Chains A and B, each alone.
Chain A
Amino acid sequence: MMHTILKDVRPTRDEYESLMAARHTPEVHEKLKEGKVAIAGLGGLGSNISVMLARIGVGKLLLVDFDVVELSNLNRQHYDLTHLGMLKTDALKAQLNKINPFIETEICALKVSEENLMTVFNDYPIVCEAFDNPQYKAMLVNALLEQGDKKIVAASGMAGFDSANNIRTKQRFKNLYVCGDFKTPVQEGAGLMAPRVEVCAAHQANMVLRLLLNIKKA
């Protein structure tokens, strides 16, 4: 049978979801639809993780970042020229809504601190650490592990253009998974570039997907 694709006609929720269930199997689709995932930091990692999780139909996403989109972000972050100067939370929510309007996206344009983080992430059993600064990465991971019982999927080491094959997912603690090459910081001659950053983001998104399907192995 020939499918006619009509331009500018939005699918209904039922059409969208039945196609997704057919692609992913109904069991997987239902589990993802019930998923609640927070993304802390909407830069190269977080913006790309969010897009992937929206595409596979994770039911509820929390997008957290206090910053605005700058020109220097476009070499790796999921934004374009029309987003310059916008809050990353707003720019990303608008994009996710165009990709999958049938998931819920909550936004929080706050700087995360040890004091506010249990309030911010309260409803979310899985948190992606997608910050840039290593001290903030450590702060978030420590505070979440100390104060709560959440699964954290963090990232460490994805700068430069070393082999993509060195980026891996490891379960380091009971509730902590880390993706990356674990060693390459941002430095002179090894800046952040789309390919390795996106490989790392995809590792994080895939680990989240596995956790939502109750697979704990990295």
Chain B
Amino acid sequence: MIVNGKEIVLQKEISVMDFLKKEGYDVTKVAVEKNGDIIPKKNFEAEMLSDIDKIEIVSFVGGG
């Protein structure tokens, strides 16, 4: 799987939610695109990621 342009080997399919948690992201501060489409936040638990997927994760930090 390609995550933010870097290759990551997935042993088995994993939900977006579990992947974000495993990688240490705060899910309240992210937006995720999979294969060019936004993944709605309500689908984070159900949406599965596999090795052929390409995902982009944007994580926001505070300040403005």
Contacts and interface: CB of A to CB of B under 8 A. Distances in A.
Interface of A: 41, 43-46, 130-135, 137-138, 141-142, 145-146, 154-159, 172-174, 176, 178, 180, 182-186, 192, 197
Given A135-B28, A141-B31, A142-B31, A158 B58 contact: no
B58 A178 contact: yes
A174 B33 contact: yes
Nearest to B29: A134
B27 to A, nearest CB: 9
B24 interface: no
18 contacts: A132-B62, A134-B62, A137-B60, A141-B31, A141-B58, A141-B60, A145-B38, A154-B58, A156-B58, A157-B61, A172-B33, A173-B31, A173-B56, A174-B36, A176-B31, A180-B61, A185-B62, A192-B63
A184 B58 CA distance: 14
B46 to A, nearest CB: 15
A146 B38 contact: yes
Contact of A186 (B36, B56, B58, B63): B63
